[in-house]
Structure 1
Amino acid sequence: MLESIKEEYISSNKKSWDEAAPRFFGRTALPIYGPFLPKENELKLFGDLSGKKVLEIGCGSGHSLKYMSSQGASELWGIDLSDTQIETARNLLSDCTTKLNLFQGAMEKNPGIPVEYFDIVYSIYAIGWSVDLRMTLRNLYDYLKPGGSFIFSWEHPLHNRLSQNGNQIIINKSYHEEGLQQCEPWDSPAIMNQLKLSTYINELIQAGFQIERVVEDVVIQEEINSDAVWYTHQKAVLIPPAFIIKCTKK
């Protein structure tokens, strides 16, 4: 029963993402990790990418893969649930000379990606869409060569526990509440996995990863979008809107 429910969520998320994808083309892509986070040129989590085989989980419109190509990666691989996103990524990367392989599919399943093949697996603001994090992490661990790195960013679990009403910040949900739930900013059915930061860390350890670094730093810049509703300056000065974790396959 649980597996059939997860399949329904994956199918529903695919439909929602196929429709909503154009809103997100080119947004939150490397060297940007997420709202108010330091950029890759400051963090240098990926190191020298020359000759590296990389796989992106939730590759979206392909802009992060394009960044990887510009940094010298030798092979670009990506998987995304949305047909719309994959088509956009193919078009964006059509003139890229780097070897390219894109798959439409759920991150919870292996659609034909080779195992123990990649130097780096990464995910920029997509991992929280997994309806089965444990299975997803098992796949990612298998894809990596021994000693390879997995780097991902995602919305901080504290962020949607707080809501903003004018200048007031209100705690509207328990941090301890976990599980699959409707993504608040979306009107269409869109199921995300709400997990504590400790759950992400413990699931990574359970999968066999060694944690190297956790980033919760907040970078407040002067150029704040005053129209922002979900990620606001007022919330960012109180809690981190997003986080990054880098880990290694033992």
Structure 2
Amino acid sequence: MTDDLTTSSIARVARRAAGADESARASRIWWEGAADEYQAEHGGFLGDAAFVWGPEGLDEARVRLLGEPDELRGARVLEVGCGAGQCARWLRGQGAAEVVGIDVSYRQLQHARRIDEQTGTPVAVAQADAQRLPFADAAFDVVCSSYGGFPFVPDTAAAVAESARVLRPGGRLVFSVSHPIRWCFPDDPTEAGLVARDSYFDRRAYVEEDGAGRAVYVEHHHTLGDWVRSIAAAGLVLRDLVEPEWPEDNEQTWDGWSPLRGRIIPGTAVFAADRPEADEPRG
């Protein structure tokens, strides 16, 4: 999946439609070039074997959105958009029987292997797209994604359905994305980022293009309702929607996230949904 990748410079920024293939290619381009800087800048916050749901620092060890410790022991878990495998490595430490991480970026997976060697806790990884998971139906007990693939998909229904497909009956899907309300505001951590500018209902993607008009970064905006409807359409039951408050002890700024903004508007949305034990016929 590293074919035709370049580190093209950004010539323009647009709000426009972007399909599945263009979005996946742009994500590969961007993350191949950004992985080193990302891990150097944020690796300390993420930890080598920790599970945080977003820049606020919401810790899975505390909130247990994936399940209690006895539920994770012996489970088969898939992490979508695993980056350097920090969350997957934490899950291994919780006694999960098998943890697999996928990421669209080969360079991110190389960082996963580097941390594997440093910690002595390897995680199984594969290069793959969240929109096309290379696994059999009902292969996992838990599917999770911390800002992994879901912010970058054009079709929420298709992406959620794909994760639901590989989830066994009784299993759980939990994923985090940028809170949809943030799309109304400039991506600015200062007071300038507190003035609404764009329509919440403008679902055009944010696209960075090279000089030839090819997308080299794509991020998609979907409303809360879009996500909830997609979860229901996939046959899942929404159990929780968490909007983390910015904690007093977190003084870091992470791109558009900051204590100033985070204590006024939500920056992250975390969706937790279950697949019923027996799929009910739809009427």
What CA RMSD, in Å, does the superposition of the two structures yield over aligned residues? 2.3
**Corresponding residue to 2:55 among 35, 53, 59:** 35
CA distance in 2, matches of 1:13, 1:54: 23
Counterpart among 98, 101, 104 of residue 81 in structure 1: 104
Tell me what 2:262 maps to. 236
Could you tell me which runs of 5 or more consecutive residues in structure 2 were left unpaired when the two chains were aligned: 1-17, 209-214, 277-283
Q: For the residues of structure 2 that align with 1:214 and 1:69, how far apart are their CA atoms?
A: 25
> Does the 8 Å contact 1:37/1:242 carry over to 2?
no
Paired amino acid for 1:61: A
Tell me the residue number matched to 1:224.
251
TM-score, normalization by structure 1: 0.87
Q: Which runs of 5+ in 1 are unaligned?
A: none
Structure 2 letter corresponding to 1:129: F
Equivalent residues, number:
240
Instruction: After superposition, give the CA deviation of every residue in 1:2-36 in whole Å (9 maximum; x if it has no partner).
Output: xx943123112211111111223235574311122
Give the one of 188, 201, 215 matched to 1:176: 201
Residue aligning to 1:10: 24
CA distance in 2 between counterparts of 1:12 and 1:215 reads: 29
Instruction: Look up the SS of the partner of 1:14 in the other structure.
Output: helix
Distance change in 2, residues 1:37/1:177 (3 Å): farther
- 1:158: how far off? 1.0
Q: Which protein is richer in strand relative to its size?
A: 1
State the alpha-carbon separation in 2 of the partners of residues 129 and 5 from structure 1. 10
CA distance in 2: counterparts of 1:37 and 1:197, whole angstroms: 21
Q: Deviations over 1:22-69 (max 9, x none)?
A: 223235574311122532233111222211110000011111111111
Separation in 2, partners of 1:140, 1:245:
13
Distance 1:166 1:109, change over 3 A: closer
Partner of 1:115: 137
Asked if 1:96 corresponds to 2:121, the answer is: yes
Give runs of aligned pairs for residues 77-226 of structure 1, distance below 5 A.
77-94=100-117, 95-96=120-121, 100-111=123-134, 113-126=135-148, 127-163=150-186, 164=188, 166-168=190-192, 169-182=194-207, 189-225=216-252
* 1:44 pairs with 2:64: yes
Equivalents in 2 of 1:137, 1:223: separation in Å?
31
Summarize the Cα distance change of 1:229–1:137 in structure 2 as closer, same or farther, 3 Å threshold.
Answer: closer
2:33 maps to amino acid:
E
Give the CA deviation at 1:219.
3.1
**Alpha-carbon separation, structure 2, partners of 1:166 and 1:212:** 34
**Mapped partners of 1:17, 1:39: distance in 2:** 24
Instruction: Give the Cα–Cα distance (whole angstroms) in 2 for the partners of residues 121 and 139 of structure 1.
Output: 11
Q: AA paired with 1:85?
A: Q
Partners of 1:41 and 1:109 in 2: CA distance: 29
Instruction: Check conservation: 2:23, 2:153, Cα contact below 8 A.
Output: no
Tell me the CA shift for residue 233 of structure 1.
Answer: 1.7
Greater mean deviation of Cα atoms: 49-58 or 211-220: 211-220
Q: Give the Cα separation in 2 of the matches to 1:172 and 1:208.
A: 35
